[in-house]
């Protein structure tokens, strides 16, 4: 990690006499942050339950969910390339729907990632506790939280370096997994018989549980893709935010195809979908099939890396959203105070404190209080995507033809694919209401959303319309080469 010692400015860029967020994230940081946002521990562990539910047909579910995320990221990319902002979709909701909407979705998004901190810290602590059982699990959770808080408080460049290396390990692991999988499938791996199509078409066929199970599988896997939008938030602290956004959005397609669909295809081709080993841990099962010793330990290391990456990026994302809300007057003013190294330390530390509380709730009241907190965040991903799609629809239509023609990144087949995405998101929300296992999550999330929206409507009761000021309007795309084009 030699890059941690790279020279970094002692002061962030200033605007209007005040400190601004440092713009020290490099293109390699942004590319890996975008990748890390998609590859989580859910891919390595949670995919087993999805495969058991739908069989090989789960590939269709991953493809459908991936297509939706690609459309959402393209819409967000259009807005972010025109005006990169730390508030990202929350700022765009201000412009499209009104300040109440930006406040609401910003707070819901920050809440989601704060809850994730508690989940991931506990998961990471459980892995380390297995290696060092002499130390209590809660102590490991505390240590992990403190370490990654320090990386976020120190500087944004340190956050970027840690995320770069975390993501690099995940990418390397999946690349090796895919390479060995292809070798095994074509029959070139010693000791492993080429399976052909037997596991895809045998054991009940490609859709052993019917098409309904595949539709249900979409609800299971769609949340695995949440996090790709982090790159548009981090772009505001990069050296060239417009180019960074464009590259991150355009790379979403191949990342989803290769990392998710490709690796799941390896699993269901090499192993029977209904085997117990696949249900428990599909990637461990495949590694054991390769004949590699210590498969469980290898996967523990990879999952721990994913957990640390999620903790790192979750704390960063929650703090930057709180910072943006504070800048717009929708959160305590202290959260927009920036250190001399360009870090909103108040927002970072506040996110950490609530994260510590959620970790404590997980240990003290795992089946009551913490379960309730987790359920309140269950549908937030879909609400965020819905707000992104609606905001893009409104802002693009508000543009003149001339301004739209100057966009450096455009949504495909506008407005038709935008409407397709909106309809798909609404259908998924309806699906959550129909399925018993997701109904409570939807109800709790909607309850929290109703409270937050109510607060937003009350605060801006005298001005519920969208923001139309010339400084904030997204109808005039920035010139990527013009210095100072990024608002914080």
Beta bridge partners of 197: none
Q: What is the model's pLDDT at position 185? A: 94
CB burial of residue 67 (10 Å; 0-12, 13-18, 19+):
middle
CB burial of residue 394 (10 Å; 0-12, 13-18, 19+):
middle
Q: Is the peptide bond before 415 cis (omega within 30 degrees of 0)?
A: yes
Tell me the C-alpha distance between 191 and 270, whole Å. 13
Q: What is the model's pLDDT at position 178? A: 92
Please check whether residue 23 is in contact with residue 244, taking contact to mean a CB–CB distance below 8 angstroms. Answer: no
Neighbouring residues of 305: CB distance < 8 A, sequence distance ≥ 6: 166, 169, 170, 173
Tell me the C-alpha distance between 176 and 189, whole Å. 14
Q: What is the model's pLDDT at position 487? A: 37
Nearest-10 crossing angle of helices 137-154, 345-364: 170
Q: What is the model's pLDDT at position 36? A: 67
Tell me the C-alpha distance between 233 and 213, whole Å. 35
pTM: 0.88
pLDDT digits 0-9 by tens, 346-376: 999 999 998 889 888 888 888 888 888 888 8
240: DSSP letter: S
3-state percent breakdown (helix, strand, coil) of the chain, nearest 5? 70, 0, 25
Phi, psi for 18 (deg, rounded to 5): -115, 165
189: DSSP letter: S
For CA atoms 245, 247, 250, 256, give the dihedral sign.
negative
Q: How many CA atoms lie within 13 A of 58 on its CB side?
A: 29
CA-atom Rg of the chain in angstroms: 22
Consecutive 10-residue averages of pLDDT for the chain (488 residues)? 38 46 73 70 78 92 91 92 84 93 96 89 89 91 90 84 86 90 92 89 89 84 83 78 79 77 93 89 90 88 88 89 92 90 89 88 85 87 96 92 86 95 96 89 95 96 69 46 39
Question: What is the SS3 assignment for 18?
Answer: strand
């Amino acid at each position: 990690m030699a890059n941690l010692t790279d020279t970094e400015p002692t002061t962030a860029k200033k605007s209007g006499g005040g400190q601004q967020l440092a713009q020290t994230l490099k293109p390699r940081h942004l590319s890996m942050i975008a990748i890390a946002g998609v590859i989580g521990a859910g891919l390595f562990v949670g995919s087993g339950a999805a495969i058991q539910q739908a069989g090989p047909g789960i590939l269709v579910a991953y493809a459908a969910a991936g297509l939706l995320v690609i459309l959402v990221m393209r819409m967000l990319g259009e807005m972010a390339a025109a005006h990169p902002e730390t508030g990202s979709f929350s700022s765009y909701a201000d412009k499209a729907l009104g300040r109440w909407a930006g406040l609401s979705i910003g707070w819901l998004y920050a809440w989601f990632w704060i809850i994730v901190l508690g989940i991931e810290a506990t998961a990471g602590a459980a892995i380390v506790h297995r290696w060092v059982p002499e130390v209590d699990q809660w102590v490991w959770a505390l240590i992990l939280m403190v370490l990654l808080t320090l990386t976020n408080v120190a500087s944004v460049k340190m956050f970027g370096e840690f995320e770069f290396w975390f993501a690099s390990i995940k990418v390397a692991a999946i690349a090796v997994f895919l390479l060995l999988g292809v070798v095994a499938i074509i029959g070139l791996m010693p000791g492993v018989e080429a399976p052909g199509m037997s596991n895809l078409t045998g054991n009940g066929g490609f859709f052993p549980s019917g098409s309904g199970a595949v539709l249900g599988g979409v609800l299971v896997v769609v949340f695995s893709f949440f996090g790709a939008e982090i790159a548009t938030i981090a772009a505001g602290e990069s050296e060239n935010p417009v180019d960074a956004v464009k590259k991150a959005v355009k790379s979403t397609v191949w990342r989803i195809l290769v990392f998710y669909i490709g690796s799941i295809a390896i699993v269901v081709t090499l192993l029977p979908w209904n085997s117990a080993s696949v249900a428990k841990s599909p990637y461990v099962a495949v590694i054991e099939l390769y004949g590699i010793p210590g498969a469980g330990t290898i996967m523990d290391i990879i999952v721990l890396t994913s957990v640390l990456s999620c903790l790192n990026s979750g704390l960063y994302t929650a703090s930057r959203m709180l910072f943006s809300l504070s800048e717009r007057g929708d959160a305590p003013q202290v959260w927009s105070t920036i250190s001399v190294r360009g870090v909103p330390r108040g927002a970072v530390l506040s996110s950490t404190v609530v994260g510590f509380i959620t970790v404590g709730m997980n240990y003290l009241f795992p089946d009551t209080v913490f379960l309730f907190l987790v359920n309140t965040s269950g549908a937030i991903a879909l609400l965020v995507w819905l707000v992104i799609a609606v905001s893009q629809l409104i802002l693009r239509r508000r543009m003149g033809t001339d301004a739209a023609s100057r966009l450096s990144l455009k949504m495909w087949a506008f407005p038709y694919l935008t409407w397709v995405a909106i309809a798909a998101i609404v259908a998924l929300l309806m699906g959550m209401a129909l399925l018993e296992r997701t109904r409570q999550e939807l109800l709790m999330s909607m309850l929290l959303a109703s409270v937050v929206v109510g607060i937003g409507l009350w605060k801006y009761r005298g001005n519920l319309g969208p923001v139309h000021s010339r400084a904030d309007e997204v109808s005039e795309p920035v010139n990527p080469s013009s210095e100072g084009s990024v608002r914080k």
